[in-house]
Structure 1
């Protein structure tokens, strides 16, 4: 380990961090451009074959960027998509970015250091950075935007150059260091551990935009919200946001264990899709919708106001069917496939809406991070792995064998470090802060 990383781990003051030399290379989870065809026609693209952990060159810092010593990160579905090179190799995105010239050329490399979450310590700031300094404890929001693009100033997610950090850019969070733009950086919630903070940002902010932000479904008191994949990373934050808003959370999961743990998170109604037969190939979409709608009406006397759907192909048609007249389906991502089929009669004749959503702009990320800092949102970390075993962590997510979030320790030598406000942590309580950890194995 290099001297700068050792100083960070030892809790050295900013002056000492500034005097330590930035290494010319660092350890990161990365993909290799010469392996984009490694899977051939294999049905199972095992991410353990494509993910490597080893040295990559340290990039030069642009004026508007910060260099972060990454204490912890997490696995997202972006990680899995990148490592399977689907729907297209991420090296295509890096090449397009590199064509812009200037500092963007750094991204077009024969390697891709991935990862879309990070919590750590700022160790260098670019000459144009004003609001962050060496020694700050931070997390990174996942949206990477061009601040000189006019549309970005209306909504960062509308800009044509908007990208997901660490998936469509290089030097992401799954490594000993990461490079982020200053307008991605947020203060780390002081009562959280490194791994808890690192596992929360991308999924929590994505759910916030979908449900709470002005560009989403705008959940309000009393709204019944159907949440697909409610025990996953985005879904489990959606449950909390609905509850915070005074809404009624209806979570759909696959399996009894996930259902049990989701009930402990405060979900008002938990539905095990396997018990309800929603995956029965003999049922039409309308039949599945009728089964699900009947169960929700029996519980609450009404159809859902909102369907929160990050699952995609397998669920979207049911979502359109089951929401009430004038209701909304808000969608982000398509974990089960991106070709969404639905009967348009149920949409147009009942004045329903489909809202497309993607990540979160900086203001939305800041507001969501405030909720985490206040303890109004809790991390949903279920287990962690060391960086050396990131392939195993990603494989767990690839096979949907996890609940909540899977964390990765980067520079942090063990779990439980990084808490700067133990008083607030004690007041909130370990049970609330670790809803998915109880009885969960750790890597």
Structure 2
């Protein structure tokens, strides 16, 4: 058995996957709750609300490569990545607890500024957690297949977290009501984030750490080299576009449930339909990838997701059960479009490290998470544009929405994301790394 074939202990797989409790909660709840909080509780106009949701994430696009370079150059007995899981994870939980806890001073300007500043702090802490976290698989194992198994655990736990956070956050808010409901929900989700960060830090204590020297040159020099890596570049563009589509759908859940389906508890049920299949089928996608390859599995999962999204356009005209079934199909595809690119990223970064003898893994993952953050941030912004085009009426009281707004919500949740996912596959066709190529470089 070669070094590249050695399986990781289950403790390490689960420990690493536990980090998705933190990333899943932070990636889900603001995308789901922040835009409705701004438009329907603070009465912020839709376009301005979209800017507030987007701006801190845009800051992460600049910060993430810097965070990656810093983690590459961290010298610590615990390795270059694990210390950041603890430091940034605690900071992220503290900032998130404050996000929905602004003082009620009856001032829209102060409310808006509070959300903007605190969300910026959240985004900063998240960058220093997420970038080292995503970099770890390339250093934990050299195995092409083991990285897929590692991502299977991560995505399964991610799916569970999305289900937990996505279903419970609206339920907590609705059970208490008003701004106090948002405050309590924020505290509960902060506790979930903190638990995930601590579990990941503890669970990876026995994992192998990186032993390659950080890449030479300035950050600009390293970014130029990373940008020149064709396989990484096309994989990144594909993933960013799909993050944009996912962010758009996530932002639309609350609006689709309240203004189109008009059913109590529909937001929670939509999340169960979305995440339930992912919980069950993530191992199946891993098995499919082992049989047909990661790239082909990624294409298949993307097509399933796009089909489900397109069928959701029937919301408002078909029975609600049809919409829930369409969203469940989205969940089936979503499991795959998380497993495969996250297993392909460390392949691309590790190939570069083996070829050059120096590590730019942190820079690779910094660019990757910057792109993911940009896509997830642009998603709610794009959905906010759809709301504005449709004439959505922002208000802190219940108001009837015009038919144009209902149509905009439906299309922003369905057809638009489906088209974006299909468009992303144009770039993926150029990806060329497979198991033979990765192992050839490892042996060399």
Q: TM-score, with normalisation over the residues of structure 2?
A: 0.26
Higher relative helix content: 2
- In terms of fraction of residues, the more strand-rich structure is 1
Which is bigger in relative contact order (C-alpha 8 A, separation at least 6)?
Answer: 2
